[in-house]
Every structure is written in C-alpha cells, then in structure tokens.
Amino acid sequence: MFTRHVNRWKLGALGILAISAVVAGVLASAASPASHRTAATKITGAGSSFVFPLVSTWIPVVGSALGIDLTYASVGSGAGIAQITARTVDFGASDAPLTADQFSACKGCVQIPWALAATSIPYNLPGLKKQVKLTGPVIANIYLGTITQWNDPQIQKLNPGLTLPSTKITPVYRSDNSGTSYNFTDYLSTVSPAWKSKIGVGVNANWPTGVGGKGSSGVAGVVSHTEGAIGYVDVAYALSNKFQVASVKNKAGVFAQPGLRGIAAAAATIKKVPANNELHIVDPPASQKLAYPICTFTYVILPTSSSKAADLRKLVFWALTKGQAYGPKLLFVPIPKVVLASSEKTLKQVQS
C-alpha cells in the first residue's frame, strides 16, 4: 500500500514537473517576440469610456509606428482623474474638464483636448416612423419633470407632422459619475435658466425625476427596454446600438443631427482657447447653421513632470495629428486647427 502511494506521489510530481516545463516553454516562446521589439516603452492610461473606441484603434498603430506599447483602461472619466492624480497611470482621460479641486489635487497636471464628439438623445417610441425633433428647453423640462407625456403641447408643437402617443416619458440618466452627464448638464444649463438654477453642471446631479442606469450600457439598457424612455449617450454608442436619436434645434433655428457634419460645424465656432484648455461648445453661436448643440471635447490629462515625458509627448502629438484620421469612422471629428495649436503648446510643458 505505502509503496504504491509513494509511486503515485512520484508520478504526480513528475507529471507536475513535465507540465510546468511545457508551460514555461510556451510562455518563453510567447514572450520572446515581445522582447524582440527592442525596448518598446510601456505607456498606460485610464479614464473616459467615451474616448475608448478611438484609443483602442490607436493602440496597434502606435505600437508599430512609434514603438509605444500602449494600454488603456476604460474605467470612466472620474476614475481616470483619480488614477492620474495618484500617478498609478502615465496619463488620464476625461470628458469633463478638471475642476479647480481636481487640478490642485493632481499637483502639476495639464489637460489637452484630444478628441471631439457628440452626446445624442436616444428615445424609445416604437410606433413612430419619423425622427422626433426637440429643443434644449424642452429636454430640460423633460428632465426637470415638468413635461411628463410625449404628446405634451411643447413637444407636439415642434413635431407638426407627427402623431405623438400619450405614453409617459421616462427620463434616463447616468447613475455613475460621467463625462457624458457633464456634457449633457452643461448643455441644459446653457439653454435653460430653470435647469441652471435648480440643478447645474456636473458629472452627476441631483436628478429631479427619472431612472438611473450605470454606464452608457446601463442607460442604453433602460432606454431600449422601456417604452417612452429618453436618454443621453455618446453618439457612437447610440449608432452601434441602432437607437433612434432626436434632432436638436440649434441657435440658428435648425434641427441638427448628431453626425460628423453637425459636430464639425459646432467645433468650427471656436475662435480662441483659454490657457487651461477648458472648452465649451454646447449651444454654439448661430454662425454655423448645421452645428449640433450637444458636443464636447474630451481631454487627455498629463503630468507636467514624468520619467516618460518624451514618449508621452510623442504619443499625444501623434494622437492630435495622425491619430485624428481614425476618428470619423467612430463619429469623432478631427479637432480644429486653433485647438490643435493650443494643445501642441501645452504639450511642451510635459518634461522629464
């Protein structure tokens, strides 16, 4: 009996040895091509989920073109700011500009606008064939809870050819802290004095009515399952989920679409960039007829002092120039020249 046990033991040990040898061999062979890429610099970033689709198309390209091994964690803007503040990553990314509190906590950080997109207004009204038209004040009243039904005169007036149902409106908001909420509340505060005084602008708010969903997927989930729901998600997300989205009236009086032309037109209204690079293009001036009114820049947050400064500058410069070409497929619009100039200038502050 005993000897048999020992034999089994030995066999087991041999087996384990053999398996670990094979595993080690496989690992070594898998690791070797990586080490061939002669000292690719590892750069890690975290934050905005809004910009994630764009960054993930950049990753293979910067790997071969710049020799930068880029990893990006799509953990949300707030978490991205927290992580660059703690310096656990090389850069952060946020759709909301840093607050004064966040700037001082980050101790020597700069924000650089590096992508541009829109927040769309999806809705769930299965019977309707034609697109619903909305205005900023009407959206604000829906989210304030003063408009509660789709056939409310305020909405009906904007959609003369459409028979709107009496379905109850369920406004859906982001329950987590998000840059998309910042963009949305920024817009509502600009167009609705009631919203500005009662609620304000932020990555989250004291929503007076409605249902909260976690993440873009949470909002999308509630909107797609609830008849009469209305929400707000980044436009790429709405398109990939085949949502119906509303057209929104701009200052020129046009009901604008959240497409490439609408976003580019909104960005074209920027004439000057402030020193801290904080840009607001919600409800842009009437000079651009097609401008979609709920657009936002999204920012990369860099430490001004970093051991990887040279590679960070190389990476972000690439993203600001060549990287922009990868945007339109994902409904990101190349950033305008005046913003690019300011971004490049700020980038020079990143030193080792």
Partner 1 sequence: MSTLDPASGARGGLSRGLRVRPGDLIFRLLTLAAAVSVVALVVMIAYEVLKQAWPAIQEYGLAFIWGDVWDPIKGVFGAWTFIVGTIVSASFAILVAAPLSIAIALFLTEIAPKWLSGPIATLVELLAAIPSVVLGLWGILVLGPVLESTIEPWLIKWFGWIPLFSGSPSQVGMLNAILILTIMIIPIVSAITRELFLRVPKELKEGALGLGTTRWEAIRGVVIPYCGPGIVAAIILGTGRAVGEAIAVSQVIGNGTSISRSIYAPANTLAAKIANSYQGASTKLEGESLLYLALILLVLALITNMAAQVVIRRAEKRGVL
Binding residue (CB under 8 A) for partner 1 from 73, 128, 221, 252? 221
* Shortest spacing between CB 279 and partner 1, in angstroms: 19
Binding residue (CB under 8 A) for partner 1 from 57, 154, 204, 304? 204
Could you say whether residue 222 binds partner 1 (CB under 8 A)?
yes
Query: 30 or 101, CB closer to partner 1?
Result: 101
What are the backbone dihedrals phi and psi of residue 66, each rounded to the nearest 5 degrees, phi first?
A: -110, -5
Query: 199 or 335, CB closer to partner 1?
Result: 199
Report CA 296 to chain centroid distance, whole Å: 9
- The contact mask relative to partner 1 for 54-83 (x = CB under 8 A, - = no) is ---------------------xxxxxxxx-
Could you say whether residue 170 binds partner 1 (CB under 8 A)?
yes
* Shortest spacing between CB 305 and partner 1, in angstroms: 23
Q: Give the span between the Cα atoms of 278 and 299, in whole angstroms.
A: 9
Query: 3 or 32, CB closer to partner 1?
Result: 3
* Shortest spacing between CB 47 and partner 1, in angstroms: 9
Identify the burial level of 350 via C-beta atoms within 10 angstroms of its C-beta, where 0-12 means exposed, 13-18 middle and 19 or more buried: buried
- The contact mask relative to partner 1 for 267-306 (x = CB under 8 A, - = no) is ----------------------------------------
* Shortest spacing between CB 130 and partner 1, in angstroms: 26
Cα torsion through 174, 339, 311, 331, rounded to 10: 50
Q: Give the span between the Cα atoms of 92 and 87, in whole angstroms.
A: 9
Could you say whether residue 163 binds partner 1 (CB under 8 A)?
no
Task: Centre a 10 Å sphere on the Cβ of residue 309 and count the other Cβ atoms it contains.
Answer: 17
Identify the burial level of 90 via C-beta atoms within 10 angstroms of its C-beta, where 0-12 means exposed, 13-18 middle and 19 or more buried: buried
* Shortest spacing between CB 220 and partner 1, in angstroms: 11
Could you say whether residue 3 binds partner 1 (CB under 8 A)?
yes
Tell how strand 91-94 and strand 170-174 pair up.
unpaired
Binding residue (CB under 8 A) for partner 1 from 225, 242, 272, 337? 225
What are the backbone dihedrals phi and psi of residue 123, each rounded to the nearest 5 degrees, phi first?
A: -145, 165
Q: What is the largest CA-CA distance in the chain?
A: 92
Convert 9-31 to b/e letters by CB count within 10 Å (16 or more is b): eeeeeeeeeeeeeeeeeeeeeee
Binding residue (CB under 8 A) for partner 1 from 193, 208, 285, 328? 208
* Shortest spacing between CB 2 and partner 1, in angstroms: 7
Q: Give the span between the Cα atoms of 51 and 298, in whole angstroms.
A: 7
Contact 208, 143 (CB under 8 A): yes
Tell how strand 295-303 and strand 91-94 pair up.
antiparallel
Binding residue (CB under 8 A) for partner 1 from 29, 30, 101, 130? 101
Binding residue (CB under 8 A) for partner 1 from 90, 95, 176, 234? 176
Query: 57 or 224, CB closer to partner 1?
Result: 224
Could you say whether residue 241 binds partner 1 (CB under 8 A)?
no
Query: 157 or 168, CB closer to partner 1?
Result: 168
Query: 93 or 256, CB closer to partner 1?
Result: 93
H runs (alpha helix) in 199-333: 215-225, 235-240, 260-267, 309-320
Contacts with 263 (C-beta within 8 Å, 6 or more apart), sequence order: 116, 117, 118, 235, 292, 295, 331, 333
Binding residue (CB under 8 A) for partner 1 from 33, 206, 271, 337? 206
- Binding residues for partner 1, per CB under 8 A? 2-3, 6, 75-82, 99, 101-102, 105, 168, 170, 175-178, 185, 199-208, 210-214, 218, 221-222, 225-226
